[in-house]
Every structure is written in C-alpha cells, then in structure tokens.
Chain A
Amino acid sequence: TQLLEQSPQFLSIQEGENLTVYCNSSSVFSSLQWYRQEPGEGPVLLVTVVTGGEVKKLKRLTFQFGDARKDSSLHITAAQPGDTGLYLCRGGSEKLVFGKGTKLTVNP
C-alpha cells in the first residue's frame, strides 16, 4: 500500500506570514495533486504535478514536485484568512491514495 505522510498535521499562523507544508512518500508517483478542503465541504483540486522537479504557481501558492517524484511541497506567501482549510495531497493511480492532510488556520 502506498502511503503519503503530510506535515505538519496542524499549523496556525498570522495573516501575512509565509508557510510551507510537505507531502512525503517512499513510493514513486506518476502524478501528485493538492486539494484544499474548507469546513463542511468536499476537497477541491488546486493543482496537479506530473514531472519530477516541476514547479507550479497559483497566485500566492507555489507547488513543487520532488525530482524523484516521491514528495511535494506547498508554499504559501503572505497567507490570508481565506487560505484557512485542510490541505490534502494525493498520489497514485487507481485507488486515490491521500495523505491525512495539514490543517491550516490563518488568523487575522
């Protein structure tokens, strides 16, 4: 079974701070996705990375796929309260292997 470990599990920061969350595995994935889930809602796809070393930017969010395609990071610049949510990474192919997520709280 492929496993994805996310860290930290919880993160509480002030508005304007920068942060990085991580998604690590001992397995190689053909692609990796990041989702954000707001309270009471389903996860929403943010980005898909498929190439080792790939970097994608989505406004203040920067996603990186590790060279060996076993890990990924999500960096948020100047966090805002609207960034609050559960950030999930997902890898694998058929069975949707998810990490347990990082619960981010951005305080005004």
Chain B
Amino acid sequence: DVKVTQSSRYLVKRTGEKVFLECVQDMDHENMFWYRQDPGLGLRLIYFSYDVKMKEKGDIPEGYSVSREKKERFSLILESASTNQTSMYLCASRSPGQGASYTFGSGTRLTVV
C-alpha cells in the first residue's frame, strides 16, 4: 500500500514565522497535492506538483509556496504565518491511470497564534 507521511501531526507557530510542512510518499508517484481543510469549506487545493521541480497553483495559493526537489518529497511553506492559516493541512499522492486513487497523509493540524 502507498504510504504518505506528514512529518508533524500538530504544530503551533507564532504569527510571522516561516513554517515548513513536509510530506513524503513511498510509491514513486509523480503527482502530489497539498490541501487545507476547514469546517464548512471542505478540502481546498493549495498547490500540486506533476513532477520534480514542477508546481502548479491550486485554488488558494496566496500566502503559500511549495518545493519538490525530490520525487518522494513535497513541502508546503508558509512564508509568514498568519492566524487565518490555522487549519488542517493534508498532503496527497496520486497513482497513475484512469480512475487514479489518491492516498492522503494523516494531516497536520497547524495553529498560528
């Protein structure tokens, strides 16, 4: 089974800090995604990546950046954390082919104070 590992389950950061959220997958998938999940808003796509060093903006990229230096690792960066970035962050990896399945990490619950 594909495993997607997010480095932290819970994080508390101060406003203005630079925050790194790490995600690693072990199945050599090319496609990886970062979402945030908020009550009443569902899953919203922040960034995705089709391959190493490639990235595409999702629906809500403002305030975020990403890094994909190696195929297995996709990092989400909050350049200057703000309280409105308090959320559950979910990383996903996608298998190839029609009806491709997505495997999610367990999530990182980030609180910005």
Contact = CB atoms under 8 A, between A and B. Distances in A.
Contacts of B104: 35, 42-44
Given A95-B58, A100-B40, A100-B42, A31 B107 contact: no
Task: With a 10 A CB-CB cut-off, give which of B4, B33, B98, B102 has the most chain A CB atoms.
Answer: B102
A79 to B, nearest CB: 23
Contacts of B92: 42, 96
Interface residues of A, number: 20
A48 B48 contact: no
Interface in A69-108: 88, 90, 95-96, 98-101
A105 to B, nearest CB: 15
B84 to A, nearest CB: 19
A43 B93 CA distance: 12
A94 to B, nearest CB: 8
A61 B40 CA distance: 25
A62 interface: no
A102 to B, nearest CB: 11
Contacts of A99: 42
Nearest to A97: B45
A101 B43 CA distance: 9
Contacts of A33: 99, 101-102
Interface of B: 4, 9, 33, 35, 40-43, 45, 48, 58, 90, 92, 94, 98-99, 101-107, 109
Interface of A: 30-31, 33, 35, 40-45, 48, 50, 88, 90, 95-96, 98-101
13 contacts: A33-B99, A35-B104, A42-B4, A42-B105, A50-B98, A88-B42, A88-B43, A95-B58, A96-B43, A96-B48, A96-B92, A98-B43, A100-B40
